Amino acid sequence: MKFGFILDMLKFFKVIKRSSKSKARLGLINTAHGQIKTPAFVPVATKGTIKSLTPSQVNEIGLQTAFVNTYHLVTHPGITLIEKAGGIHKFSRLNLPLMSDSGGFQVFSLAKSKRNPQGSTKRADVRGEEKPLLVKISENSVLFRSVYDGRLIEFTPEKSIEYQKKIGADIIMAFDECTDYPATYEYAKKAMERTHKWLKRCIIKKQTIDDRRSKIDIPQNLTSTINPLSSKNQQALYGVIQGGTYRDLRRKSAEFVTSQALDGIAIGGVSVGESKKEMREQVRWVSDFLPVDKPVHLLGVGQIDDIIDLVKYGLDTFDCVEPTRLARMGTIYKISNFNPQARGPISKTEELDITKSIFKEKLEPLDINCRCYTCRNFSKAYLHHLFKQKEILAYSLATFHNLYVMERFFAEIRALIEENKL
C-alpha cells in the first residue's frame, strides 16, 4: 500500500478533485523542482528572470512556477553557457518548476512582421521585446539573424527540443506554428498540418535524447532505485493544439495532438489579436477533446475574467506577461470583490493607475486588504512618487504586489473548485 502511494505521488500529473458544476478540476503536477497545485498561474520569466524580482522575492510571494523563453535564451546568453552552468535553474537561481516554450511563437510572429511590419509589434511583445531578423522560413527550419551579434540561428523541431533539453526546464513545448490573426482558412490549415508533422518529429527527438542519456547517466542495475523526477530525462513534453479561429481545424488538431504520446497538452494561437469572444470559443471548441488524465496549459492568456471562465473548461495552467508588464507601467491589481458568477471584464474595474495625480497625497496602503510586502509597508503616495521619478524600486514593489494578488486569486479558485462552487 505504501509503495503504491509513493508511485502515485511520483506521477507527473494527478487529478485531486473534479468539480460537480463544470469541467474544472484540482490537480497536482510533480516535477524535479517541486509541485504545482493546479489551477495555477505561470508568470513569464522570458530571459530567466521575472523582471525586477530577486529569487528570494519570488519565493516570498509563493510563486509555484514560471515560464522561460527558448528563443531569447538561445540568442543570449546562449545554450552552451546555460548548459555549462548546470541548466536554467542553477544559472538563474529560480528554484521552482519552470516551463519553456519552443521558440515557435517568435518565429511566426516574425513571419507576420515581414509581411506587415505595422501589425507585428503587438504580437512580438507577448513574450519578449527584441524583434530578431527573419532570414528564411521553410517546411523544415527557420533561420534568424541574432540582434546581438548577427550570427545565424536555426530552429527546427529537433533543434527546439535540443535547446529546451539543455535549458533544463521541467516542462517543454513541441515546436509549432502560431498563425497570424486574421489568417485565412487555407493558411490556418497548412500551419496546423505543419504543426502536427513537427510534433511527431519532436516526440521522436526527445525520446532519442532521453534514451541516450539514460544509457550514459544511469547504470542499469540502479534504474529501479532512481527517483524518476530527479532526472533531466523526465522533462515533460506538451504538444500544442492549433487551428486558428476555425472550429473544424481546432477540433481536428485537438483530436490529433491528444492522440500522441505526450505528458501534457497546450492550446496555442489564441489571444493574438482576436476578440475575447473568439478566444473563448476556440477553447470551448476543443474542451470535449481535452484529456482527463493529463495537464492542459493555455499559452498567453492571463486576464482575470478570462481565467474564471476558462478554468471551467478543464484548463490547469495559464502563462501571461500582463500582471508583470502592467505593474511596470504603474497599473496595480485589486480583487476585493471576487465573484465567480460575475459577467464582463471584472479586472478592468479593479485596477489602479498609481501614476495618476489623485494618488499624490494618499498615504493609505495600495490595498488595505492585501498582506503582501508592498501593501504592508508602503503607501499609494510613495508608489506614485517612485513611478513619477522613474525609480527602479517602483517596478519591484508593483510587480511583487500584482503577482501576490494573482497567487491569492488562484488559491481562491482552487478553494471554489474544492467546494464545487466553480
| Active site amino acids | 101, 319
**Distance of alpha carbon 171 from the chain centroid:** 10
What secondary structure letter does DSSP report for 68?
E
Q: Quickly count: other Cβ atoms within 10 Å of residue 378's Cβ.
A: 17
The residue among 210, 203, 206, 236 whose CA lies nearest residue 65 is 236
Lookup: cell for 340: 465567480
Count the residues in the chain: 422
Identify the helix (H) or strand (E) that includes residue 396.
Answer: helix 392-418
Lookup: cell for 269: 494561437
DSSP string covering 163-198? HHHHHT-SEEE-------SS--HHHHHHHHHHHHHH
User: Long-range contacts made by residues 387-391, C-beta under 8 angstroms, separation at least 24?
Assistant: 387/330, 387/354, 387/355, 388/355
Question: Alpha-carbon distance 378 to 366, whole Å?
Answer: 8
User: Long-range contacts made by residues 6-15, C-beta under 8 angstroms, separation at least 24?
Assistant: 10/227, 10/228, 10/229, 12/234, 12/236, 12/263, 12/264, 12/295, 13/263, 13/264, 13/293, 13/294, 13/295, 15/292, 15/293
3-state per-residue secondary structure call for 203-217: HHHHHHHHHHHHHHH
Question: Alpha-carbon distance 403 to 421, whole Å?
Answer: 24
Question: Alpha-carbon distance 31 to 42, whole Å?
Answer: 15
Q: Phi-psi category of 87—alpha, beta or left, where left has phi over 0 and alpha has psi -120 to 50?
A: left
Per the CB < 8 A criterion, the answer to whether 197 and 260 are in contact is no
Per the CB < 8 A criterion, the answer to whether 202 and 237 are in contact is yes
Q: What is the side-by-side order of every strand in the sheet holding 25-31?
A: 13-18, 25-31, 34-38
What is the sign of the dihedral through the CA atoms of 377, 380, 385 and 390? Answer: positive
Lookup: cell for 320: 501571461
